[in-house]
Amino acid sequence: MSENANENTVDVPEENEKAPENKVKAPEEAKKAVAVKKFPYFEPFAGIVIAIVCTVVFLWFTDLITIAFYVEPPILIPAFLQVEIQALWLPIILWGLVRIAGNIAYLIEKVYTKRLAVISLIANLLTVIITILILARDYIVNPKYADYMIRLFEPSVAPWFGVMLANPHIIIIAIVYLVMILDSITVIRKRNKVVEMEKLEAGREVTQ
C-alpha cells in the first residue's frame, strides 16, 4: 500500500508541471488568432481616400493626367479629352461608390469574415467591369497625344513602345485589373487562414 501511495504522489506533480505551459501557450495562440482575423484599420480609410481622389481627378481634373515633353519649346499634352471623360460621369461616380462601399465593408466587419470576402470579390469584379465600360473607348484619348507618342518612338528600335503609350486608357485598365486580381487573391488567402484557425480552435475545444 505504501508503494502505491508513493507512485501516486509522483504522478501528481507531473500533471501540475504541464498546466503552466498550457496557460502560457493559450494567450500566444489567442494573439495569433486575432492577428490572422484582423487587418490594419488604415487600409480601408486609405482605400476610401484613393477612391474619392481618383473619381474627382477623372471628373474635373483630367488635364492633370498629362505628359510633359521636354523639347524646345516644352510641350504639355493631356492624355485624355476632359469633355469626353465628363460625358461618362455616371459610370465614373458608380466606380467611386463601388470602391467606397467595398472599403466601408471592412470597417463594418472588422475581421476577415465570409461575408467580407464575398463583398470584396463582388466589389473587385464590379470595379473591373465599370473600368472597362469607362475606358474601353478610343475617342476619350487626346488624338494629339496619341499621334505625338507614336511619332516620338517611330525612329527608335521599339516603335511598339510608342503605340503602347499612345493608349493610356488600355494601360489604366490593365493596372486596375492587376490590382483587383492581387487584392482578390489576398482576401481569399487570408479568409482561408481564418477558416483554418477556427477549425484548430474548434478542435482544441472538443479535446478539452
pLDDT at 24: 44
pLDDT at 13: 47
Q: Quick one: 106 and 142 in the same domain?
A: yes
pLDDT, tens digit only, all 208 positions of the chain: 445 544 554 454 444 444 454 444 444 544 444 445 566 778 889 999 999 999 999 898 887 777 655 555 777 888 899 899 999 999 999 999 999 999 999 888 888 888 999 999 999 999 999 999 999 999 999 998 888 888 877 776 677 888 888 899 999 999 999 999 999 999 898 888 887 776 766 666 556 5
Structural domain boundaries enclosing 6: 1-37
Q: Quick one: 108 and 92 in the same domain?
A: yes
pTM metric for this prediction: 0.74
Q: Quick one: 26 and 112 in the same domain?
A: no
Instruction: Find, among 36, 33, 84, 89, the residue nearest to 59 by Cα.
Output: 89
Q: Quick one: 29 and 51 in the same domain?
A: no
Q: Quick one: 56 and 68 in the same domain?
A: yes
Q: Quick one: 44 and 10 in the same domain?
A: no
pLDDT at 64: 79
Instruction: Find, among 50, 61, 68, 66, the residue nearest to 85 by Cα.
Output: 61
Q: Quick one: 5 and 98 in the same domain?
A: no
Q: Would you say 116 and 106 are in contact if contact means Cβ atoms under 8 Å apart?
A: yes
Instruction: Find, among 184, 201, 191, 193, the residue nearest to 112 by Cα.
Output: 191
Number of domains making up the chain: 2
Q: Which residues partner with 141 through β-bridges?
A: 80
Q: Quick one: 141 and 198 in the same domain?
A: yes
Give the DSSP H/E element, type plus range, for residue 173: helix 168-207
Q: Quick one: 10 and 78 in the same domain?
A: no
Q: Quick one: 164 and 145 in the same domain?
A: yes
Q: Quick one: 32 and 49 in the same domain?
A: no
Q: Quick one: 87 and 150 in the same domain?
A: yes
